[in-house]
Amino acid sequence: MKEHLLGRLIPFWNGLKDEKNGGFCGSVPYDLSRDFKAEKGCILNSRITWFYANVYLLYKEGLLKEEDFAAHGYTADIVLEMARHGYRFLTEHCIDRERGGIYWSLNYDGSPLDTTKHTYNQAFCIYALSSYYAATGDREALALARNLMEIIETKCTDEIGYLEALTIDFGPESNEKLSENGVMADKTMNTLLHVFEAYSELCRVDRDETVVSHLQRILGIFGDKVYNPELHRQEVFFDREYNTILDLHSYGHDIETAWLMDKGLDILGQEDLTEKMRPITRDLTAQIFKVAFDGRSLADECDRGVVNEHRIWWVQAESVLGFANGYQRDPEHLEYLDAALSQWEFIKTYVVDDRKDSEWFWEVDREGKPFPDRPIVEPWKCPYHNGRMCIEMIRRAAK
């Protein structure tokens, strides 16, 4: 994974830096052409900034050496500059300095395109800014992250939980962006998960009682509203009161939640919360292994009893981490270690696109054949899941 990170992922994204307009190229279709005039998703740019900041953190932590970068034709300073390039684009274009919050997307030149203020998007910017602060010590980044947390808590919540899409002025807006499968959700597990992820990273780099209390609240919602103990899964789409509105089992989100929540619990270090939530993360891992893993890869989801057997890039990456985490937490479960290794072999064989100047396919079928109508890069397709898999596994292997 270290070699894959250094030799495949970083060089690919280095080549998408937009020197003229800032940020990164927003579209690479299957034919591998580069469309530098495509829409630039703010989630995409937050995630790329997070990616480069964490690669540089591996260097600061001594887990990557200068010679590791040099072997592939670049340096640690170039990685740091890529993180700074992403940070400048976020702060100069993506963040709305007048009204607060971060837009959904921009035109290629950095002007606002979709001015929706989505809670999910605010969370990913916090995630990026927190890691950037850890990598650089830039306190402006930390202040911006804390400001976005305050915006989420004051403008993107109600008395029950976390809202979804909002207008440029934080008024109500319908949630097409994170609603799927024929429903319109007032609240989603996905947004809640990534607010938790963002706050966990902020807590890791600059802990105080405010972010701790928010994390405690989110864990309460997961335990009481989102987790379904009878079905051993999380519910996905909800009405305003957190009543589920669709019979859907999202395999990728459940295995991602299992390790992300465990990591967040480690950061919090509160025994009572750990005792409440760890049985849930164990149950999610066990159920995904039981119903979604075929011995070498993970299916996408089960919608109203019908399984989507497509192998989606991010689901495969998260299953490596989820199963590895399950084994590390409970080493008697050797089957999880085998699953993580088998999944990584499937990724290397079928999901990684071996064409020159490419990265990972968006999705392949159960046998590993790619779908040629799916892009290599677009506003959701970025080095977050696969890059994080490598980064996290490098850190875990070093412990």
Where do the domains of the chain lie, and which CATH numbers do they carry? 2-246+352-385 (1.50.10.10)
Over range 167-194, report the average pLDDT: 95
pLDDT digits (tens, 9 = 90+) for 210-251: 999 999 999 999 999 999 999 999 999 999 999 999 999 999
CA 293 distance to own-chain centroid:
21
pLDDT digits (tens, 9 = 90+) for 66-91: 999 999 999 999 999 999 999 999 99
pLDDT digits (tens, 9 = 90+) for 379-398: 999 999 999 999 999 999 99
Over range 275-298, report the average pLDDT: 98
Give the pTM.
0.98
Give me the chain's average pLDDT, please. 97
Over range 148-177, report the average pLDDT: 96
Q: Which residue has the tokens 């084994």?
A: 327
Cα(312)–Cα(289) distance, rounded to whole angstroms? 17
Query: pLDDT value at position 399?
Result: 85
